[in-house]
Amino acid sequence: MRIRQKRRRADALAIFLLAALGLCALIAGGAYAAAQLSQADDRLGQPASDLNAVERLALTVYLTSRAADLTTPAGADAAPRGFSVAPGETAAAVAGRLADQGLVNDARLLDFYLRYAGLDDDVEAGDFILRQTMTIPEVARALTDAAAREIAVRLPEGWRREQIAEALAANPNLNITADAWLGLTGPDGRRPGAFSFYADLPPGASLEGFLMPDTYLLRPGASAPDLLEKALAAFDAVVTPEYRAGLSARGLTLYQAVIIASLIEREAAVDDERPLIASVILNRLAVGQALEIDATVQYAVGTPANWWPPVQGLDFRVIASPFNTYYITGLPAGPIASPGRRSLQAVVDAAATDYLYYRALCDGSRRHAFARTYEEHLANACP
């Protein structure tokens, strides 16, 4: 729904004062000032056709004097932020709220730019995705172009393919069914693009673990291939030659690294423990000791009712699954979730320890106690 308003020029006094300044500038600056104004269309774009001569002069002088501010973002945070415009809300009110939320530096500057460009009557009512790193002209265009609207879709760290499929299917702004997502990311799914890591997937592997957690911006009605290509491109960007070299130094393939990273993602709750948990996994693999990670049991027995069910009381060693690391020795058959960048990096940056055990502390901090021997591990148990 588009806001249509016949603005009564609430800023008439400000416009009049700006016009006076413009006239003074022309008188004082003579030919130089006139030349500067003649270049305004190049700097500011075409002015609105309904501006009268005085208003055009005033806005041109003012905006030209603030040209640097027009192209300076409000901040350095590139994270997408939701912003809603209510039906009937004026451009001035919208500009004020944008300034209050730190998305523009100067509400009046945005308001005057919208008026100069003739966009003040075209501000769209609805939901928008904006960023601090956008300039005032970019914000103005985003608010007045319904076709440019984007929605933020989050793929969280530590989710498995089925969880992602359910969340996407429940999003009314997307055209993605659970079956479409699972089929596309499954072993026989059509792979978009020509990403380098495809060669690292073993035969019959799904894309579990390679769906890079992040917030993706999509057009309303986006399909499964639209999102999948973005997620795979984000993963491919992480797998740099330097990252691969780090894995080679540890004797790991990329697929093994993604499996380990998925285990770290499900086990670690605080960032500084990721390299420590990585060290336990690598140390156990080195000595041929079963990993015995509860999250792999959860993955093996998870159902749509609960993809990560509590497993206390189960006899882990009789759950015959190639993902159950109490049942098998070595790595599970594949990744068990989508690891984020910090877990992927922890595989390369694994701490140099001789730890073979860890267990949750008893204080509710979600941190772990690490141990070298089984006796130490038992001593770390809660009272």
CA–CA gap between residue 182 and residue 180 (Å, rounded): 6
Cα separation values, 216 from 34, 64, 68, 141, 150, Å: 46, 35, 30, 20, 9
User: Each residue of 89-136: pLDDT tens digit?
Assistant: 888 899 999 999 999 999 999 999 988 888 887 787 777 888 899 999
pLDDT of residue 167: 96
State percent of the chain over pLDDT 90: 61
Instruction: Say whether pTM exceeds 0.85.
Output: no
Which pLDDT value is given to residue 295? 96
pLDDT digits (tens, 9 = 90+) for 64-88: 888 889 889 999 988 878 788 888 8
Q: E strand or H helix at 316, and its extent?
A: none
CA-CA-CA-CA dihedral for 97, 102, 108, 111, to nearest 10:
-60
Q: What percent of the chain has pLDDT over 70?
A: 88
Name the residue with tokens 């997937």.
201
Residue 10 has a pLDDT of 43
Q: 10 Å Cβ neighbour count for 185?
A: 22
DSSP 82: E
Q: Which amino acid is at 206?
A: S
